[in-house]
Amino acid sequence: MLLMKRMRLRELGVRIGELETGRWNAITDVTGVKVGHKTLVKGEGKLVPGKGPVRTGVTAVFPHPDNIFENKVPAAVHIVNGFGKSMGLPQIEELGTIETPILLTNTLNIGIAADALIEYMLLGNPDIGIKTGTVNPIIGECNDGYLNDIRGRHVRTEDVFQALETADSGEVEEGAVGAGTGMSAFEYKGGIGTSSREFAVSKEKFTVGALVLSNFGTQKELRIDGIPVGNELSCRQEQRQGDGSIMVVIATDAPLNDRQLLRIAKRAGIGIARTGSIASHGSGDFIIAFSTVNQEKTSSNEPIRETKTLKEDGAVLEIFFQAAVDATEEAIINSVMKAESVEGRDGNVREGIPLEEVKEILKKHGRDG
């Protein structure tokens, strides 16, 4: 019997929420946002620490295509559970801006990725540390040690540069790619997923996009559009996932300040919970939200900035809350559904979720379009 090809949730006829998606149903539907991956797969069999097998990578998210250090974007961070090793988040909390691309990778590669990103920023900004201040690299992580030789720290500077230099708008590759190569979700293969929502406020069109690095959950916790799919899957997974983690990046083209972005970031946590997460004791659940407008120019000497900001009103902001919840939920499910099975170190395997069975379960519950 031929297996169903890997597909996104909407290709099964399932629609989460009432809002429409953007053209790509991806974070790149927010104009200017770019995503790049570098995937590392090498070796097989028994783990030899420092040698392999390698199942890892790095993913880069650009808020806009211009010089980000010179054109900082408003941003916020929300931590649902803080068992994680991300870098650069306190400065976002303090100043409310992002000044570098966002990198996602594995836990023990945080330092290497940060060093590479700093080098990348120095090459593009010769005034850093001389005529201006220093630079705050933003790095997020999850633990891919079940499939990958994580002690080997195999993501190198050239890999980070490749992810950064190949970043593009348009369709985003999902599943076992980039930082998601060695990740697991709900005891199946997980990784990178994305989704978006578009809507109008007083006839002005806005977009909210989400990109996730999913690495959390047990099979029994998995819910898709409210359906307890994990409980109904016939094959029980034998290797318990443990606590796991998730990184979420939210982008929008709406004129929001950092406090408003924090409110939206908090709602993305609801999207995580909808898929079954309980934010376990050992989980690192981090959400970074940014707006591509109201950029702050480093070179400006003006003491006062004039900006437009969305009205602080429930009728206005609640549609953004809905978009963040729905896009995050769908991005997580896409990260699992698009991920192919991967065999990693010591013969450890994370199977791709059985789409045929998922389709039948959803159909039984009336989620078949």
Domains of the chain: 17-298+307-346 (3.60.70.12)
**Cβ(40)–Cβ(155) below 8 Å:** yes
pLDDT in tens, 227-267: 999 999 987 665 555 578 999 999 999 999 999 999 999 99
3 HSE (CA, 13 A, CB side): 11
Cα–Cα distance, 194 to 8 (Å, whole number): 10
Of 196, 283, 291, 335, which residue is the catalytic one?
Answer: 283
For the beta carbon of residue 308, count every other beta carbon within 10 angstroms.
8
Q: pLDDT-derived band of residue 146, with 50, 70 and 90 as boundaries?
A: very high
Of 285, 291, 326, 335, which residue is the catalytic one?
Answer: 285
For 201, residues 6+ apart whose C-beta sits below 8 A from its C-beta are 254, 310, 316, 319
Q: pLDDT-derived band of residue 1, with 50, 70 and 90 as boundaries?
A: very low
Task: Please tell me whether residue 143 adopts helix, strand or coil conformation.
Answer: coil
Instruction: State mean pLDDT over 145-159.
Output: 98
Percent of the chain with pLDDT over 70: 97
Residue with tokens 């028994």: 46
Instruction: State mean pLDDT over 217-224.
Output: 96
Q: In this predicted structure, what is the pLDDT of residue 241?
A: 53
**Whether 245 is catalytic:** yes
Going by C-alpha positions, the residue among 47, 6, 39, 37 that lies closest to residue 344 is: 47
Residue 168 Cα distances to 17, 105, 178, 241, 267, angstroms:
28, 18, 14, 32, 27
- Apex 323 CA angle, 318 and 328, nearest 5: 130
Which H helix or E strand runs over 95?
helix 89-95
Of 169, 245, 277, 291, which residue is the catalytic one?
Answer: 245
List phi, psi (to 5°) of 182.
-105, 10
Q: In this predicted structure, what is the pLDDT of residue 2?
A: 47
End-to-end CA distance of the chain: 25
8 HSE (CA, 13 A, CB side): 19
Question: What's the whole-model pTM score?
Answer: 0.96
**Whether 195 is catalytic:** no
**Whether 368 is catalytic:** no
